[in-house]
Structure 1
Amino acid sequence: MSGVMVAGEAVGRAIPLVAGALGVSGIAVAALPARLRIRAELRRRWRTWAIAAPVFLGPLLLGQGGAFALAAALGVIGVSEYARMTALPRADRAVLTAASVLLPGLAWLAPGALDLRTAGLLLLAAALPPLLAGDAGGGFTRAAHSVFALLWIPVALTGLVTLQETAIAVGLAVALGDVGAWCGGTALGRRGPGARRLSPLSPHKTWAGVAGAAAATALTLAAVGAFSPVLWAAVLAGCVLGDLLESMVKRETGVKDAGSWLPGFGGLLDRIDSLLPALLLATVVTGR
């Protein structure tokens, strides 16, 4: 069976779930009283979701070629936002941008090339700009920022290509897991054990939110026929750790959001922060 047919079947299972989630959430948001300050914010988020869903699912319907295009586009935008946050010079940004296209391309056309040899080349590529510039004052910091970005963004996004139909399940589970975390935190995170703060990195994240994300990710994976305990654990860990990871980057660099062009969210990294580690962990547990 071709990759396009397999992806088509996976998207076919996902579309009713996405349509139902958008429909129910749209009605719920529209029914909120106008006096609630959060109503306008939720409406902006819902509109972004309505646009993002076909943008994510459409390319994956085309198989690995479409997944490559999606991964490359997300990677180029993501590393641009990261480089702006960390004030990386132009040469370092060029390395990250090139890797954002080349790594998903290798995952598509030559997946066997993604091994320790590639890891060694990535390490050298990250260090090359400060080495050539003779940056004795901040060269190591620049190289460390670049290595982290390479692993966090382009390497993680290769999972959209290598995981094939599982990438669709992971993407949907992460998206609805974020919604579940918000619902769990709102409903159960005001008092009691669920109100305990998860980490100083993100004061608004609570253990009630983790419980909400756990339930939502499990139900989503089951709904698309992809549930397994290890995949669920990988997705849930991505939902929890991804947000904290980006919060750590933003707190050190002193920015509130990675960007401002996605209504209700900020930048692209603010939207895919949980997807990135989830894809990495899903790649590990599935062996793809």
Structure 2
Amino acid sequence: MSAVVVVAGTLGVSGVAVASLPAKVRMRAELRRRWRTWALAAPVYLGALYLGAAGAFALAAALGLIAVAEYVRMTDLTRTDFAVLAAGSVALPVLAWQAPDLLDLRSAALLLLAAALPSLLSGDSERGFTRTARTLFALLWIPVALTGLVALGHRTAIAVGLAVALGDVGAWCGGTALGRRGPLARPLSALSPNKTWAGVLGAAAATALALWAVGSFTPALWAAVLLGCVCGDLIESMVKREAGVKDAGSWLPGFGGLLDRIDSLLVALLLAMAVTL
């Protein structure tokens, strides 16, 4: 229940803070939209995971299906490529739930074959390799990562999700407060010039605090979540820049698309599985 208390307290304090912002604050409307999205998403995330493995599977599959649909639109993949990704979004969480021992090198081989099969069968000599590479990347980035919601267990999955959410807030606060000038103002990558070392410092503090608050802090898990916060956003920025789009979608108020909200969570879940399982 500590996670519920932390989430409720965080939403309450942040809601008062956002509501109190003066009209002259440039991002006032944006921050209010983001808070409303968080207020709706948090109960869904927590509620699904508290239902146990079945709820975690349902959450992973739903997030996966929406995310791969956004990814396919961005990367100009075909319907058959989407079918592979959609199948993976359901099948992989099912395996994590019902037959976790099958998630090994055998499933890795099948993922490679599944990614290549549409291009092989259609004889796509012009874009076949590009399609296969993009599909395989998406399988690892989205459905495989989301199996962590099932495989990690509800306590760790909740801790990671909460820490990532607060890490994003910490990164914004750190970048705003410390990232205007000096060495901390240096951008991490040209892929996302607004992401600075000051933001990393803010994310480091926020993720550590979140994990400690729910009793899940370990140096390894903290490092996994922090790297997820930092690298997840850059990975999606790389995909979007090549695709020539600003956001993965436009339906999620304050964020754009679902991938814009869970990009850091995906990498954090992968790394959390690597250090805990």
Measure, in 2, the Cα distance between the counterparts of 1:69 and 1:105: 9
Aligned to 1:146: 135
Could you list the per-position Cα deviations for residues 223-282 of structure 1 after superposition, in whole angstroms to 9, with x for gaps in the alignment?
000000010000000000000000000001101000000000000000000000100000
Letter in 2 for 1:95: V
Q: How does 1:84-99 map to 2 (within 5 A)?
A: 84-99=73-88
Q: Secondary structure at the match of 1:112?
A: helix
1:161 matches 2:150? yes
Aligned residue identity for 1:246: E
Match of 1:4 in 2: none
Following TM superposition, by how much is the alpha carbon of 1:31 offset from its aligned partner in structure 2, in angstroms?
A: 1.0
Q: Paired residue for 2:234, among 239, 244, 254? A: 244
Output the amino acid matched with 1:112. Answer: D
Detail structure 1 runs of 4+ shifted over 2 Å in the superposition: none
**Matched residues, percent identical?**
77
Partners of 2:128 and 2:5 in 1: how far apart?
50
CA distance in 1, matches of 2:184, 2:253: 29
Q: In the TM superposition, what whole-angstrom CA distance separates every residue of 1:24-48 from its partner, at most 9, and x where no partner exists?
A: 1111111111122210111000000
Query: C-alpha separation between the residues in 2 aligned to 1:169 and 1:197?
Result: 28
What is residue 268 of structure 2 aligned with on the other side?
A: 278
Counterpart of 1:136 in structure 2 is 125
1:3 alignment partner in structure 2? none
Give yes or no for the alignment of 1:127 onto 2:116: yes
User: Cα distance, 1:163 vs. partner?
Assistant: 0.2
Residue number among 38, 55, 64 corresponding to 1:66 in the alignment: 55
Quote the residue 2:201 is aligned against.
211
Q: Which amino acid aligns with 2:235?
A: L
**Which residue in 2 is equivalent to 1:191?**
181
The alpha carbon displacement at 1:22 in A equals 0.6
* Alignment gaps of 5+ in structure 1: 1-11
Give the match for residue 231 of structure 1. Answer: 221
AA of the residue aligned to 2:193: P
Taking only aligned residues, the RMSD between alpha carbons, in angstroms, comes to 0.6
Give the equivalent residue in structure 1 for 2:190: 200
Q: Give the AA of the match of 2:220.
A: V
Task: State whether structure 2 residue 7 is matched by structure 1 residue 18.
Answer: yes
Amino acid at match of 1:261: W
Q: Distance in 2 between matches of 1:170 and 1:37?
A: 30
Aligned length: 276
- 1: CA distance between counterparts of 2:131 and 2:189? 27
**After the TM superposition, which residues 37-116 of structure 1 pair with which residues of structure 2 at under 5 Å, given as runs?**
37-116=26-105
Determine helix, strand or coil for the equivalent of 1:144: helix
The 1-side partners of 2:44 and 2:244 are apart by 30
Q: Distance in 2 between matches of 1:250 and 1:181?
A: 20
Residue identity opposite 2:264 in structure 1: S
Q: Distance in 2 between matches of 1:59 and 1:24?
A: 24
Task: Report the 3-state secondary structure (helix = DSSP H, G, I; strand = E; otherwise coil) of the residue aligned with 1:274.
Answer: helix
Q: Which of the numbers 145, 165, 170 marks the counterpart of 1:175?
A: 165
Q: Give the equivalent residue in structure 2 for 1:33.
A: 22
Q: Distance in 2 between matches of 1:168 and 1:32?
A: 29
